[in-house]
């Protein structure tokens, strides 16, 4: 369908299109972002512009990344190109580094790609000032879970390694059209600088965490078999009979550093 501004857009499930329609929620998100005129802000998935319009009203210029060609055509027709800079394509392949530094990222994200997208933010954390995103509430709970919580997971460790995170707003399904089957929440991620527990080798850290959580019911002795011996766990003061879920980010960094040194 050619996108006339007046024609109704049929939401595409494959692009996770649940459009925000609740004015109170939209205002609360914009207030949490608190955009300042000269901010270097990029919105992921502007869609029909629920957040784009109020953000742009407070900014000199806004960049957006959108995959849906019909929505891109609408946005092009609606906003001048020097104020709304549209990057057409898949955000999972987008090089955030090309947008420069001190980048502010915002969006009501397509939930079907939220985990890889969060890992992508971690990859570009050095360019980012902050991130404000709407996600499935369950994902936000996992992001901010602490050791010992049932939701504490690989996602918690990998994001907490790099970001300070705060849940800001709970959003009910009725705030969207169409309403998603899940509840949502807005979370803020702020890159930690300097990192409180920097790993010697981040690839080793990432693989240790992935391995430990791959079979979350098993003990570290089992999941890290061949990587760490009981004697080495004892040297670090970590119980090999514990499960991944019980360890802190700092514990994982200590294990990864010991593995990196002995490699």
The residue ranges that bind ligand SAM (CB under 6 A) are 15-20, 45-48, 50-51, 65-68, 71, 90-92, 108, 110, 113
Angle at 117 between CA 13 and CA 2, to 5 degrees: 40
Q: Taking CB positions, which residue lies at the least distance from ligand SAM?
A: 45
Query: What is the token pair recorded at 116?
Result: 């890889």
Shortest Å, Cβ 17 to ligand SAM:
5
Q: Which is nearer to ligand SAM, 16 or 147 (CB)?
A: 16
Q: Which is nearer to ligand SAM, 88 or 165 (CB)?
A: 88
Shortest Å, Cβ 103 to ligand SAM:
16
Contacts for 220-227 with beta carbons within 8 Å, 24 or more apart?
220/244, 220/247, 220/255, 224/255, 227/259
Shortest Å, Cβ 134 to ligand SAM:
7
Of 183, 197, 190, 188, whose CA–CA distance to 138 is shortest? 183
Q: Which is nearer to ligand SAM, 69 or 225 (CB)?
A: 69
Q: Which is nearer to ligand SAM, 48 or 103 (CB)?
A: 48
Pairing of strands 163-171, 184-191: antiparallel
Q: Which is nearer to ligand SAM, 84 or 204 (CB)?
A: 84
At a CB cut-off of 8 Å and minimum separation 6, what does 93 contact? none
Contact 166, 186 (CB under 8 A): no
Shortest Å, Cβ 167 to ligand SAM:
18
Q: Which is nearer to ligand SAM, 86 or 209 (CB)?
A: 86
Angle at 235 between CA 230 and CA 241, to 5 degrees: 40
Shortest Å, Cβ 19 to ligand SAM:
4
DSSP 137: H
Give the span between the Cα atoms of 91 and 252, in whole angstroms. 30
Q: How far apart, in Å, are the Cα atoms of 212 and each of 114, 134, 207, 235?
A: 22, 28, 8, 19
Q: Which is nearer to ligand SAM, 47 or 191 (CB)?
A: 47
Shortest Å, Cβ 98 to ligand SAM:
15
DSSP 50: T
Angle at 47 between CA 42 and CA 53, to 5 degrees: 65
Shortest Å, Cβ 109 to ligand SAM:
6
Query: What is the token pair recorded at 42?
Result: 């990029």
């Amino acid at each position: 369908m050619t996108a006339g501004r007046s024609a109704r857009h049929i939401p595409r499930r494959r692009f996770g299109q649940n459009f925000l329609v609740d004015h109170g929620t939209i205002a609360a998100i914009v207030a949490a972002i608190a955009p300042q005129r000269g901010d270097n802000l990029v919105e992921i998935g502007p869609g029909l512009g629920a957040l784009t319009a109020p953000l742009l009203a407070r900014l000199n210029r806004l960049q957006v990344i959108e995959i849906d060609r019909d929505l891109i055509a609408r946005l092009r027709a609606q906003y001048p190109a020097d104020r709304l800079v549209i990057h057409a394509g898949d955000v999972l392949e987008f090089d955030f580094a090309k947008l420069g530094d001190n980048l502010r990222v915002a969006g009501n994200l397509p939930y079907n790609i939220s985990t890889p997208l969060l890992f992508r933010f971690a990859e570009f954390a050095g360019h980012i000032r902050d991130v404000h995103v709407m996600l499935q509430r369950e994902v936000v709970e996992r992001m901010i879970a602490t050791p010992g919580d049932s939701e504490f997971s690989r996602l918690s460790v990998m994001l907490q390694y790099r970001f300070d995170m705060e849940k800001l707003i709970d959003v009910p399904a009725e705030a969207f059209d169409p309403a998603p089957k899940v509840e949502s929440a807005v979370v803020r991620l702020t890159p930690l600088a300097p990192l409180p527990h920097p790993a010697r080798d981040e690839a080793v850290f990432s693989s240790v965490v992935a391995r430990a959580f791959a079979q979350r019911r098993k003990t570290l002795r089992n999941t890290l078999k061949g990587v760490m011996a009981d004697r080495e766990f004892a040297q670090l003061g970590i119980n090999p009979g514990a499960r991944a879920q019980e360890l802190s980010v700092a514990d994982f960094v200590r294990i990864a550093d010991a593995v990196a040194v002995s490699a």
